[in-house]
Each structure stands twice: as structure tokens, then as C-alpha cells.
Amino acid sequence: MTYREYAPPVPLRGLVECLWLIRDPRTRRARPTEHIIPDACPEIIVHLDDRFSRWMDGRWRRQPVVFLAGTLTRPWKLLPGVRVRTLGIRFRPAGVTRFFDIEMQTATDREVPLGTLAGADRAGDLISALHGCQTDARLIAAARRWLVTCARVGPRRDDLASRAAGVVLADRGRMRVAALARHLEVSRRRLERSFARHIGIRPKLFTRIVRLQAVLATLGAAERGPAVEWALEAGYFDQAHLARDFRAIAGRRASRPRERDGELARHFSDPERVLALLRGE
């Protein structure tokens, strides 16, 4: 499978990280599974060919054709279809609510059909526009135009969660929630309400996910200090604390190469991509 990222429209770069397209010119009936690790970035997914399936409640369930994947708190196990051509729109943390009137906690770990999120007419506009495109360039251009339209009619929003997310990302998840609230000069309760509304999870879990992603981005470094010192520098109490977060959030050992997460998933945890997200780029 080939994976490629595309920049969003310039006015939306503070809200949307990128658009991406994955495709495979071959048809394959026996594809390996994908292990998707939480990164706190919700995505709109459009399956232009066969739908993926997600492992849920002990069996494979096919995903909707077009949906919002809300903020994840645990890994998703996915199985691509026989034919793969899928478009993704990856939002920055707290970015979705600038486009759609949704309480993000209702989408956490869920697939929300786009018609429920954006209305049947707007969802239909996107699907019609994409299926009429014969090239990747036209596909991305159509998705960008649709995003701009959604942003123009999107609801006004409280900017607190977005500002807080920026601080956490820049600090690589090491700041405690109480310190974050003091830094932003708000109560912890107000911060938690804003996170629930605009990100979908509590601030503490958000910092854990960001901290883990920061660690994932540096695991491939050729040189680093002893494991305990390295864990402490990343904001963990000790190496055991790091191992527990890997099991709870990533669903795997820290030593497992990201290439084994899957043909698609390995791109999501690419160190360059993660470091750019932490820098707000």
C-alpha cells in the first residue's frame, strides 16, 4: 500500500493537521491487520473502495463508508478490504468542533457516521464530490473545498481546549494537569469541561497520550541515556511506569518496532510526523 499526506488549506492549518490518501493498485484477500495507536487526533475517514473492518466485541465489524473516528483511548485493530483506496482528514486536537457542532466525548473510541455529524446534505456533498474525481489531485482538491465550506458555517467555539492542547504538545505531555490549569489561569474543572466538549477525553489522559507519542518518536534514536534516566526525562516516574502506559495506551511493548503495527499504522507513528505535531507544525 502507498500512503501520502497533503497539506490542508492554509487558513485551516491550525485546525487540520493533514489530509492523507492510502491506496493499493493490487487486490489482496489476505491482508495483515493494522494496529492503530491513539494520538489524540480525530479523523474523518472515507472508504472509496472496500471498507475496513474493526475488531470489536470478539468479531470483525465493517466500518461505515464515511465517518468520524473520535479521539482514541485504546488501540484499534483494523483489517483492510480486498481493494484499498481510503481518504483521511486528520484534525488537530480540539479542531473538529470548529467545523461541526458535536460534543466530542460522545465520539470517543467510536465511529460516528458523517451524516450524524455534519447532516445528510453536507455528507452527501462530500461523497458525491469525491466519487466524481478521477485523479488523486482532484480528490484532495475536492476534500479541501469541502473542508473550507464546513469551516465557514461551523460553530463558534471556546478556545481553551485548543490553547491547553498546544501547551501540552509543546511540553511533550510532561506537565501535570494542576500546573496546566494554573498556567492557563483557569480552574481544573473548567479545563476538564472544555476537554470533554472539544477533545473528548480528560486532560490527564490527553497528557498521557501525548507523552507516549513523544516517546514513540524518539525510540528509534541511535543514542540515548540509560532506560530509567530516559523514562524520567520523558516525564515518567520510572521505567515500569513507561511500560504500563505502553500496555494501556499502545497495547504493545515499547520494544516492538513500529513497522510491525501495519502498512498504514506505521505511517501514523512516523517520528517526523509526531515531532511536527508536537511542534505545532
* Lowest model confidence (mean pLDDT) among 185-189, 195-199, 230-234, 258-262: 230-234
Q: Which residues fall within 8 angstroms of residue 73, CB to CB, at 6 or more apart?
A: 38, 108, 109, 201, 205, 209, 249
The domains found in the chain, sorted by start residue, are: 2-153 (2.60.120.10), 160-278 (1.10.10.60)
**pLDDT score, position 222:** 44
- Tens digit of each residue's pLDDT (9 = 90 or more) over 61-89: 999 999 999 999 999 999 999 999 999 99
Q: pLDDT at residue 171 above 50? A: yes
Q: pLDDT at residue 10 above 90? A: yes
Read off the pLDDT band of 158 (50, 70, 90): confident
**pLDDT score, position 223:** 44
Q: pLDDT at residue 113 above 90? A: yes
**pLDDT score, position 233:** 66
- Tens digit of each residue's pLDDT (9 = 90 or more) over 236-281: 666 777 778 778 888 877 767 777 888 899 999 888 998 899 998 8
